[in-house]
Chain A
Amino acid sequence: MDDNKKRIKPYGDTLNDGKVQMSFTLPLQAGPEASEAGKMLAEQMGLEEVDVVDIKDLGEGFCYLILYGKVKYSVDRSQVRITRVEMETMSYYEVNDFIRNKIGRKVVVVGACTGSDAHTVGLDAIMNMKGYAGEYGLERYPEIETYNLGSQVPNEVLIKKAIKVDADAILVSQVVTQKGAHVTNLTELVEMIEAEGLRERFILVVGGPRISHELALEIGFDAGFGRGTIPPEVASYIVQKINEREGDSNGSYDQIEDGSK
């Protein structure tokens, strides 16, 4: 690989020009001092040839700056590591077949947007009948029983519900955050479940635009799904994980007959 392509830098209009745009507020009145302070900050962030292209006073001793600059640093592509959920993505039909053949009972999933988050768009995309990006949501899966608790659900309510319906998996969606509240909230959920000695009972999945699998593992979830995740990906993960936990012994055809009521 040619060295220019091995090391990655932002692109403006020439490869490796490192051009970035940035904007932020400073607790200073707009003026030459604020402009210079903004420039110095940008330089400390690793920018060169910093240009403050706009500065606006916001009142109460604040101002807003828009800047451009060139990043000094670059990233070695061979050093980039990504943590992804390990699974095989199945289709809607394959997931239902998998449940019938290998698990032999309905899979129960409880989902909620917890804490202060009122944005159910992510949760609904995964759970609602209609689904997302042309894929049906979990509610539509005949072999999955779903409970969508909606927005601003306290962690204790979510746990109670999961126990009551004997859930296999708990889905938590976190979209909008305030001062990192989403992480605090998620951590609290895991702690509460652990405190009740229920950690092994549930598969814990978190999703949201600011969620990575890595973050999910770090705070004690089983899996994390980020932006653009489609329902069958979540479904595939859950059923494979159940199968892995329960072992193949559960999946005999006899039991399927019993379970089909």
Chain B
Amino acid sequence: MQEKLKIDKQLEKRCRNAARSIADDIQSRIEGYTTTAVERTVIRTLGVDGVSNEEIPLPNVVVEDVKRAGKLDKGAAYWFGNAMLETEKSPQEIAEAIDRGELSLTSLPERNFKEIKQLIDSRVAETVNKIEGSREARKDLQERFNLGPKPWLYVIVATGNIYEDLRQARAAAREGADIVAVIRSTAQSLLDYVPYGATTEGFGGTYATQENFRIMREGLDEVGEEIGRYIQLVNYCSGLAMPEIAIMGAVERLDMMLNDAMYGILFRDINMKRTFIDQYFSRMINSYAGIIINTGEDNYLTTADAKEEAHTVVASQFINRELAIRSGLKPEQIGLGHAFEIDPDVEDGFLLEVAQAQMVRQLFPDCPLKYMPPTKHMTGDIFKGHLQDGLFNLASVMTGQEIQLLGMLTEAIHTPFLHDRALSIENARYIFNNARHLGDEIVFKQDGIIQKRADKVLSETAIMLEEVAEKGLMGAIEEGMFAGISRTISGGKGVEGVIKKGEDYYNPFLDQLKEGLNI
């Protein structure tokens, strides 16, 4: 195929090399650590669920018990397996006994590790099989029903009530949406646990819980069956409980997860070490479950200027991709994010957007690109907003984007009404259909505005990545090189949950995932 834009291969190589060294450095800094969230995830794979009388999730109760004794460096699974052998109780019964204060995992006599490992490994294998089951079920359903042509239409629901969300999601699916994301309740990312059960109250969104995942999945499968299309479900695998959300999504057959290398650090002030450790583990789970991750580079542009800071987005895409591959994600599971956020008053702004979208398309030909709509420059003028969204849709179909988060004409006013979503689906369908093969007809002019813009952004990207590689990603974040926000290595939330692994650290889930993913 003829290249539409000329990409300077030398520059591209510099970018890839720098990104590789950045990812290797991160990997070497997190290898020796685990976190409380990782350990809670392992406990969940053993079958512990539910909450205490004080609404504290039992996996938290279990891990807290070991942490208090200062013995998490061996891995929660070791202590838990030991207790299963010693007490001959079920995992749930043990968790409940700890909650009642009748049992402490670390005060029991210690059994032979071989015995523990045998018991726990087979338990964990059951969960791993369950994840495989979900992956297979998805594959079967996607073979029976179509996924719809790309760009896929991605809409959000955010009522706070899972049942109302479902109703809106089903309506959107009927109108043509391919993907539904349930926006999380405000600041759930800062909860160091996952809430439990179906929820009907939330602020700016709906809590991510395993039961809510199940309700949406079931409802979307039902409507998908009716309309003969597989509707993909999305949630947020981020924040302090990131890997726990990953395991829930894997079991309940979510199809995509928002999962960015730096979002939590920059925008939620979560400790960077904690984030990278949790993320590495979560991404392995996502990978094994066949989930497509969506990275969040669009967020940089809501604080920084989209025209001036375009290269930070591309730099982050290179880094996100390299880190994701180290967790076993295949390129087709790495949905790299970017956004249509240039000020609409900029002359030829549309050309600059096309340059960026086309360039990333060619730089990452095997990754499904996630394209985010205008938000920063949306106003109360819904008519103009609808046009801005139209241009966004045109740029997308022209450049072969794949995951299209639809813009809402009421973006700057309220969370979407039912008809806002309908209008935005209509907008996208009209433009995608009307210009379906426009991209195939285009080659960009040599030395034209679009080609020059792409050259400029890529060369800035290479310079930035090399600077980041030199400082290390953690150092670069400290210096505020992304989104203009600076975070320190030892600062931020959740730092107390980072634990150095002991020599005899045991994590059966991690071991089995690594084996399954060949990493």
Which among B158, B174, B376, B414 has the greatest number of chain A C-beta atoms within 10 A?
Answer: B414
Q: Are B422 and A181 in contact (CB under 8 A)?
A: no
Cβ of B187 under 8 Å from chain A = yes
Which among A59, A118, A120, A152 has the greatest number of chain B C-beta atoms within 10 A?
Answer: A59
Complex interface: chain A residues within 8 A of B377 (CB):
121
Complex interface: chain B residues within 8 A of A178 (CB):
158, 160, 203-204, 414-415
Q: Are A64 and B422 in contact (CB under 8 A)?
A: yes
Cβ of B200 under 8 Å from chain A = no
Complex interface: chain A residues within 8 A of B57 (CB):
none
Q: How far is the CB of A151 from chain B (nearest CB, A)?
A: 8
Complex interface: chain B residues within 8 A of A58 (CB):
171, 174-175, 418-419, 422
Complex interface: chain A residues within 8 A of B32 (CB):
none
Bound state CA distance, A176 and B412, in angstroms? 6
Cβ of A56 under 8 Å from chain B = yes
Cβ of B303 under 8 Å from chain A = yes
Which of B174, B186, B423 has a CB less than 8 Å from the CB of A60?
Answer: B174
User: Interface residues of A, CB < 8 Å — how many?
Assistant: 29
Which of A59, A151, A227 has a CB less than 8 Å from the CB of B171?
Answer: A59
Q: A64-B422, A116-B203 are in contact. Are A59 and B412 (CB under 8 A)?
A: no
Bound state CA distance, A178 and B158, in angstroms? 9
Complex interface: chain B residues within 8 A of A124 (CB):
303
Q: How far is the CB of A171 from chain B (nearest CB, A)?
A: 17
Q: Are A181 and B203 in contact (CB under 8 A)?
A: yes
Which of B175, B415, B419 has a CB less than 8 Å from the CB of A23?
Answer: B419
Cβ of B491 under 8 Å from chain A = no
Interface residues of B in 7-23 (CB under 8 A from A): none
Complex interface: chain A residues within 8 A of B186 (CB):
115-116, 152
Cβ of B417 under 8 Å from chain A = yes
Cβ of B130 under 8 Å from chain A = no
Q: Are A115 and B170 in contact (CB under 8 A)?
A: no
Which of A24, A56, A121, A152 has a CB less than 8 Å from the CB of B422?
Answer: A56
Interface residues on B, range: 20 to 34
Which of B187, B412, B418, B423 has a CB less than 8 Å from the CB of A175?
Answer: B412
Cβ of B205 under 8 Å from chain A = yes
Q: Are A119 and B419 in contact (CB under 8 A)?
A: no
**Chain B interface helix/strand/loop/mixed:** loop
Q: Are A119 and B203 in contact (CB under 8 A)?
A: no
Q: Are A116 and B204 in contact (CB under 8 A)?
A: yes
Bound state CA distance, A114 and B376, in angstroms? 17
Cβ of A25 under 8 Å from chain B = yes
Complex interface: chain A residues within 8 A of B70 (CB):
none
Bound state CA distance, A210 and B414, in angstroms? 11
Q: A115-B204, A121-B376, A181-B204 are in contact. Are A25 and B419 (CB under 8 A)?
A: yes
Interface string of A112-135 (1 = CB under 8 A from B): 000111111100100000000000
Complex interface: chain A residues within 8 A of B203 (CB):
115-116, 178, 181
Q: Are A24 and B419 in contact (CB under 8 A)?
A: yes
Which of A24, A59, A227 has a CB less than 8 Å from the CB of B170?
Answer: A59
Q: Are A120 and B415 in contact (CB under 8 A)?
A: no
Bound state CA distance, A202 and B180, in angstroms? 43
Bound state CA distance, A37 and B302, in angstroms? 42
Cβ of A11 under 8 Å from chain B = no
Complex interface: chain A residues within 8 A of B204 (CB):
115-118, 178, 181
Q: How far is the CB of B204 from chain A (nearest CB, A)?
A: 3
Which of B376, B379, B380, B418 has a CB less than 8 Å from the CB of A25?
Answer: B418
Cβ of A209 under 8 Å from chain B = yes
Q: How far is the CB of B67 from chain A (nearest CB, A)?
A: 26
Q: Are B171 and A209 in contact (CB under 8 A)?
A: no
Which among B160, B170, B205, B418 has the greatest number of chain A C-beta atoms within 10 A?
Answer: B418
Q: Are B412 and A209 in contact (CB under 8 A)?
A: yes
Cβ of B413 under 8 Å from chain A = yes
Cβ of A177 under 8 Å from chain B = yes
Interface residues of B in 377-426 (CB under 8 A from A): 377, 379-380, 411-415, 417-419, 422-423
Sample 8 A-B pairs with CB under 8 A, ordered by A number: A25-B419, A59-B175, A64-B423, A152-B186, A152-B187, A154-B187, A178-B204, A181-B203
Q: For the A-B complex with A58-B422, A177-B413 known, give 4 more contacts whose Cβ atoms are closer than 8 Å.
A: A118-B302, A124-B303, A152-B186, A181-B203
Interchain residue pairs A-B with the least CB separation, the first 10: A116-B204, A59-B174, A116-B186, A60-B171, A178-B415, A64-B419, A116-B203, A25-B419, A59-B171, A58-B422
Q: Report which A residues bind B (CB closer than 8 A).
A: 23-25, 56, 58-60, 62, 64, 115-121, 124, 150-152, 154, 175-178, 181, 209-210, 227
